[in-house]
Amino acid sequence: MNYFFQVVKRYVPPYWHQVALSFLFNILSALFSVLSMALMIPVLEIIFQQENEVTTLLPWAVDNQVIVNNFYYYVTLVKINFGAGYALLFSGLFMVLGTVLKCSTAYLAAYTSIGLRNNVIRDVRKEIYAKIVTLPVGFFQKERKGDIMQRATGDVAEVEGSVMASIDMFLKNPILIIVYFAAMIVMSPQLTLFALIMLPLAGTIIGRIGKNLKRQSSEGQAKLGELLGILEETLGGLWIVKAFNAEAQMNGRYDDLSQQYCRIAKRIMRRRDLAHPVSEMLGTLLVIIVVWFGGTLILSGESSLSVAKFLAYLGIFYQIINPAKAFSQAFFSIQKGMAAMERIDKILMADDKIFERPDGKPISEFKSQIEYRGVSFQYEADIQVLKEVSVTIQRGKMVALVGQSGGGKSTFVDLLPRFWDVTSGQILIDGVDIRDYKLHDLRGRMGIVSQDPILFNDTIRNNIAFGVDNVSQEDVERAARIANAHDFCRQAQIPCLRLCAGLSRKPRSIRVRC
> How far is residue 122 from each of residues 10, 78, 308, 310, 336, measured CA to CA in Å?
14, 56, 50, 48, 20
Smallest CA-to-CA distance from 31 within 108, 109, 88, 105 is with 105
Domain 369-457+499-512 fold is Rossmann fold (3.40.50)
Beta strand ranges found along 332-467 (DSSP E) = 369-380, 383-394, 424-429, 432-433, 446-450
Q: In what order do the strands lie in the sheet with 383-394?
A: 383-394, 369-380, 424-429, 432-433
Domain boundaries, the chain: 2-348, 369-457+499-512
Can 2-348 and 369-457+499-512 be said to share one CATH topology?
no
2-348: which CATH number, 1.10.3720.10, 1.10.150.120, 3.90.1150.10, 1.20.1560.10? 1.20.1560.10
What's the predicted TM-score (pTM) here?
0.66
For the chain, the C-alpha Rg in angstroms (whole number) is: 35
- Cβ–Cβ < 8 Å for 107, 22: no
User: Residue 63: is it exposed, middle or buried by C-beta count within 10 angstroms (0-12/13-18/19+)?
Assistant: exposed
Q: List the pLDDT tens digit at each of the 514 positions of the chain.
A: 565 677 778 888 888 888 899 889 989 988 888 887 777 777 676 666 655 677 777 787 766 677 777 777 777 777 777 776 777 777 777 778 888 888 899 899 888 888 888 888 888 888 888 888 888 777 777 777 777 887 888 788 878 777 666 776 777 888 888 888 888 888 888 888 877 776 666 666 655 655 555 566 667 777 777 777 787 777 777 777 777 778 888 888 888 888 888 888 888 777 767 766 776 677 677 778 878 887 787 777 666 677 777 878 888 887 777 777 676 666 667 776 777 788 888 888 887 777 888 888 888 788 889 999 999 988 766 677 888 899 999 988 888 888 887 788 888 888 888 888 888 999 999 888 999 998 888 888 887 777 667 777 677 888 888 877 788 888 888 888 887 877 777 766 544 433 333 333 344 455 555 4
- Cβ–Cβ < 8 Å for 242, 280: no
CB crowding 168-190: b at 16 or more within 10 Å, else e: bbbbbbebbbebbbebbeebbee
Q: What is the largest CA-CA distance in the chain?
A: 110
Return the number of other C-beta atoms located less than 10 Å from residue 363's C-beta: 21
